[in-house]
Structure 1
């Protein structure tokens, strides 16, 4: 059909002479408020065709938008269904009444007993919780005789003794607490297999800082007595005064002014979950190169009041320490913050290695060998006095033999290691799951 014939049919408005598609176009133009009658004011055919195409495109875009919205709605409904199924599975594992915050254990402070103090140079405190882990969502501790200082932090770790995994940790500024009860709220109520929970407390501070922890009733079982985590000896014949709660962890946090929520965990990525290394394992660090480097003191130690591993470098050569990792064979990476804590120090170099034994780690540190897929090496990082840095090492493949973590330091320019307060902090492991 020619353009002239279409123009004549539009002018005569004979729907019976138009094809269905042309009739639909006339209807669209009518809906748009555009007249196609004959006369001097009638638009030309090019204008009509342009308007028709514009309206058609709008209808097509609207239809595409509706389809996309329906697809998103379908995905959201599937996600919601999966989430509801997860909640249902959790509810089946919760103990009865877990939705309501309930006190399942209480050991009130006794005024007749002197408390245990944390301060500068203290070794920290540890105690196993005398309750089942199922449903635990919050733990209260009773503090007393608080003498704070600028920047002082109370570090609380909750770990499982079976695998030395940190379940949650809290970093509490000491200037935000007063004498009395404080509540440490877990990220979520604990579900799954029953585990033995251990509470670990360390005070990061300078001199003239102190916080006391009240004691409860006498405890017959030594495993539930407060103890020195370094010597592993009882610090008292009682446990710490505490209360343990089950239920909704978030309702516990929202209902109390003295409650502290756990540190935000690092989101899992590509099947790798990041978690802090347990203080129980950090305290087991030991010196590897004692036969090569002699000091009047132990150069590789755990420092609770700095929440750090000290690794003092020698004048020549390097100092290397080793500490165990969780024995599940799934550790894929490790990271750490490093620092030199004295302004009088010369620059220090730091490194971390994931390897099966000390000989393999030493070869990587001396660069006489390349890492195998089961080994990880961070390389050496130079840090100036009072400076900080970050290190990370990862394996390409988890080996059959459990890897160990090796830390090492050396002087950037050999010859003077005075005041080289080299420390590894915030050690974090990546585990495959």
Structure 2
């Protein structure tokens, strides 16, 4: 069989050429010979020639004469160069553009040999108008972007305030999103004993977003209390370890044992697999409960080494969900994650102290300083706190339980908001109570384990000091933040001494 290729001159649909009408500034010519248009004009702006309408589509041709169809009107038409004798074609083009949804049709500019320069001048004016309009759109877009960024920052700060409040007061909402109750099984197989040294694995039949805790049911505890076990929660798509638990058989109880995540899962949807293994050979193992028969092989309990089902059952388990991205409450009744891998992957986290928390700032040492006005003034709209120093001594303010666990560094900006004020010294401290903070501020002792002290920094009006308090060792409890001011020279008086702390932030590990 012989195939003969032929070439015919008919309009074909070329999406690439149609797309250029939706992307580029376009000049449309009607009845204007190609050789009459200056070469530099054709090279400077995308130019097409309107040929007519076919099947409700416009037929255009390019500078080479190749024809193509367009379903949609050009998005950025500069103008229509039209031969004065082609007004019908111009009107046809306008009707098609309006029918295609064009809000405004481009201006028509007459083109003939006697009015070439006038036509070019008109094109230059239209280009200038396009540039101005583009500049205005860019300015408006920049303003809108700044507004959106401000709204985003405000939402993040509000979320941080809610998260901190829920963590401190144990209000993290947890819902039971899935449960597979223990089945009555006379055989009661010991799946851990049946598995290889890599233990067992169980795919969780729930979406990953918001998962906060996985609970396994233990039917019978082993005699040994020091048997070492390891559990992991893994995402199958990228084999990322979400969290790891290192524990002993003595940490287990008969019944439900909750393995709490360090943070509720947020981000991309993933398939979660819970893995459990014994880290040393032993015959006396915990007896894990299993659920009823599971018809879907994917959700049957599997051997950790080869992924083959050990039983036609799934594990007896529960999955608890919370708000995605919110830290788990530290007092919840579960086995906490001790994930070295997760900690190394996450590194340091920047935790801003939200404006809502600043509203709880108060005077910590009212027995030492008195004023006729409020010495501590929360200024959430400025993300700042005013702290007026006394003429003698120091004013100590407090943010109760505002410093998160595992803090490495607490920072703040310090400045004076009145040009008539004398120099003021600023300091911040992380401590468990006022007594400890006062000792550090007075220089009676160095900061102890878990505490942090920025040292005193003197500030002059117009300058800003960046205070950083580093904790030599991290602790796993919430602590108070204390901030203090005093006059750099007590002989100068404290009139107009409007001292302010702003932008409190904590850098925490993991």
TM-score of Structure 1 vs Structure 2, range by shorter chain = 0.3 to 0.5
What TM-score does the superposition give when structure 1 sets the normalisation length? Answer: 0.40
Between 1 and 2, higher relative CO (CA 8 Å, sep ≥ 6) is seen in: 1
